[in-house]
Amino acid sequence: MLMIVYAYDKGEYITLEESLKRQPEGKRSIYVNLTNRCTCSCTFCLRSMKKMAEETTLWLKKEPTVAEVKALLDVAPWDYIGEVVFCGFGEPTERLEDLKALLAYVKQTHPDVLTRLNTNGLSDLSYGRDTAPDFKGILDTISISLNASNKERYLELTRSRFGIQSYDAMLQFAQRCKQYVPNVVLTVVDHVEDSEEIAKCRAICQERGLTLRVRVYEDS
């Protein structure tokens, strides 16, 4: 089964119906998967480690249209949803205009529900312009993959198609987002970096008034 709008539980991607069976009460986050495309090829990403990426339920054989995603959101159990997260198997900003349309749709139809974007933070390089203002008024939290404490290590890990300029561009994007998005969070993955490297990443965030979150490593 393809997962376009889905939930997550204990390392497993599940349908919203299954999520309600497992957690019949309370709010939860739901996730929207827009694309397989990504401007990075991170060494620790599931995309790199799966023998067959298509075996995962998040691999899209065809990208859903905005109308198709809206239709799925329309029938979601909104009484039990606290947050809508745009992430999935690829980089959501590869479909920036569609992403913005869907973020706006969630805010228009369910203004009390929080919105979050998980991103590599390289959309300025993808589009050749400042993209942070695009998210004003439609995004509550942006989670940006910091991954490393310096540009050389970052490129080694992410294998970004934009090369060595990627790290500084990502940090500049994160800082600009503070003007438009209430919560700006940078992330590193545990087990990928040691405690010394994570401490350096924390210092980089503190210097810039940004929050660091250490993400749990997934190997399956």
Q: What is the pLDDT of residue 189?
A: 82
Residues 6+ apart with CB under 8 A from 163: 155
For residues 44 and 132, which has the higher predicted lDDT (pLDDT)?
A: 132
- Cα–Cα distance list, 73 to 48, 80, 144, 162 (Å): 30, 13, 24, 34
For residues 10 and 99, which has the higher predicted lDDT (pLDDT)?
A: 99
Q: In 3-state terms, the chain is what percent helix, strand and coil (to 5)? A: 40, 20, 40
Residue 220 in domain = no
pLDDT for residue 143 is more than 90: yes
Residue 9 in domain = yes
Q: How far is residue 184's CA from residue 200's CA, in Å, rounded to a whole number?
A: 18
pLDDT tens-digit series, residues 72-108: 999 999 999 999 999 977 899 999 999 999 999 999 9
Q: What is the pLDDT of residue 30?
A: 97
Residue 68 in domain = yes
Q: What angle do CA 179, 27, 104 make, to 5 degrees?
A: 40
Mean pLDDT within 185-201: 85
Residue 97 in domain = yes
Task: State which H helix or E strand residue 74 sits in.
Answer: helix 66-74
Q: What is the pLDDT of residue 47?
A: 54
CA 32 to the chain's CA centroid? 10
pLDDT for residue 10 is more than 50: yes
Domain count, the chain: 1
Look over the chain and give the mean of its residue pLDDT values, rounded to a whole number. Answer: 89
Contact 104, 138 (CB under 8 A): yes
Residue 160 in domain = yes
Q: What is the pLDDT of residue 215?
A: 77
- Residue type, position 57, single letter: T
* Paired sense of beta strands 5-9 and 114-119, if any: unpaired
The structure tokens listed for 50 are 């799966």
CA 151 to the chain's CA centroid? 21
CATH code of 163's domain: 3.20.20.70
Percentage above 90 pLDDT, the chain: 70
Residues 6+ apart with CB under 8 A from 53: 36, 46, 47, 59, 89
pLDDT for residue 60 is more than 50: yes
| pTM of structure | 0.91
The structure tokens listed for 216 are 């749990």
Q: Which domain holds residue 188?
A: 5-17+26-215
Residue 168 in domain = yes
- Cα–Cα distance list, 35 to 40, 52, 158, 170, 201 (Å): 13, 17, 18, 20, 29
